[in-house]
Amino acid sequence: MSPVIRELQAQSVPFSLILSGQHYDYNMSLQFIRELRLPKVNYSLKLRSETPARQMGEMMMKLGEVLRGRKNEMLCVHGDTNTTLTAALVGVKVGMKVAHVEAGLRSYDWRMPEEHNRRLADHLSDTLFAPTSVAKKNLIAERVYGRIHVTGNTVIDAVSQNMPIAKERAGITRSIVFKEFCLVTLHRAENVDDDGTLKEIISALIDSPLPVVFPAHPRTIEGLRRIKMLDTVRSSRNVQLVSPLGYFDFLCLMSRCKMILTDSGGIQEEATAMCIRKPVLILRRSTERPEAVDAGFAKLAGVHKSTILRELDKSLQKKCSLPSYSPFGDGMASKRIVRIIKESLSYQCQTKRSSQRIDQ
């Protein structure tokens, strides 16, 4: 959402920034906002609950207090997190117009919590900012209530805007021991919470034909301990296990690596940005970003050691000729989104004034 926030500032559109509290480390969240050079947070919802259902319930109550009396304003939510669904639901209940940035993505994999969140948020929204025509077709097929706009994805805007900041802080690259490497991320529940799946993926990384740099999510570290492979990974000469990275450090590693292996949806998009342009192997059985696959940037590698290694060998052996454009937009999505927001709010104001004249 950072490009939308910057564009609202640039066009002098008043807004409030709400920190949902979904991530447990409050100070880390504030540091992230400072690093992105975003404005001060107006409201912070410090949550005590940890399970998803309790956390969402607590967020609903606290967010309801913040949004009370804001019927004439628009609530913008992004993506497919628990925050997205919770905020969209609260917005509807307090009578606000809800706009969903990154609407219409579908994996058709109901095991994924993100699939529940984005589908429900789409059907609660009045305005849907679809990143691509594929996303728009998904929304039309589901007969959503709101108005659909194809804008591109703000992820591409964010990479373009933040890469110069990242290069100012490129210290992470000096700590990488490999000249050429694959960059790996792994965090999804269906991968790291399933012992068999996690063993398959980690075994593939250890035997990878190209060395691996692996910034490990805390959830993944816990999974490695559980399956008794943490020491094996740490002692492997083929894998460099590093602590979780900030956004800017990760951008630097994406720009330097030879290819990316990931189960992240956002990284599938970021890899297509013109300042990165790296091939991606998706460590999943399905993806809600088929545009990356169709454009030739990404390929589904599954979660079994044999298929991951086979696809990795294929990718390394063939000459890489990636498209000269991103299927997720031209880096101008935030400008389109803010223009539509302004038009929508202006229309609401005009409608309200007309209604008041009729009442009088």
CATH code for 2-152+332-359? Answer: 3.40.50.2000
Cα torsion 66, 71, 75, 81: sign: positive
| Residue-level pLDDT at 360 | 46
Q: What is the pLDDT of residue 174?
A: 84
Is 293 in a helix, a strand, or coil?
helix
294, 288 contact by CB (below 8 A): no
The reported pLDDT for the residue numbered 16 is 96
For residues 157 and 78, the answer to whether their CB atoms sit within 8 Å is no
- pTM equals 0.88
Instruction: Walk across the sheet containing 280-282 and list its strands.
Output: 239-242, 212-215, 182-185, 259-262, 280-282, 298-300
Q: What is the pLDDT of residues 205-215, one digit of tens each?
A: 999 999 999 99
Burial class (CB in 10 A: 0-12, 13-18, 19+), 51: exposed
Structure confidence at residue 348 (pLDDT): 63
pLDDT per residue over 266-290, tens digit each? 999 999 999 999 999 999 999 999 9
Q: Is 150 helix (H, G, I), strand (E, B) or coil?
A: strand
**Domain(s) of CATH 3.40.50.2000: residues in the chain:** 2-152+332-359, 165-317
Strand stretches in 257-358, DSSP E: 259-262, 280-282, 298-300
Cα–Cα distances in angstroms (integers) from residue 210 to residues 81, 174, 242, in the given order:
33, 19, 17
User: Is the pLDDT confidence value at 83 over 60?
Assistant: yes
Report the topology of domain 165-317. Answer: Rossmann fold (3.40.50)
Q: Give the tens place of pLDDT for each residue, 112-169.
A: 889 999 999 999 999 999 999 999 999 999 999 999 999 999 999 999 999 988 888 7
User: For 49, what's the count of Cα atoms within 13 Å in the CB-facing half-sphere?
Assistant: 15
- Least confident range of 171-175, 202-206, 354-358: 354-358
Q: pLDDT, tens digit, for every residue of 23-71?
A: 656 555 677 788 888 999 999 998 888 888 999 999 999 999 999 999 8
What's the pLDDT at 352? 57
Tokens of 186: 């792994």
239-242 and 280-282 strand pairing: unpaired
Report the residue count for the chain. Answer: 360
Provide the pLDDT confidence category of residue 171 given band limits of 50, 70 and 90.
Answer: confident
**131 burial via Cβ count (<10 Å: 0-12, 13-18, 19+):** buried
Q: Residue 323 corresponds to which tokens in the numbers above?
A: 């498209």
CA end-to-end span of the chain: 41
78 as an active site residue: the answer is no
Catalytic residue among 116, 123, 187, 304: 187
Cβ–Cβ under 8 Å, residues 178 and 144: no
Query: Please, are residues 121 and 144 in contact by the beta-carbon 8 Å criterion?
Result: no
The three-class DSSP label of residue 81 is: coil
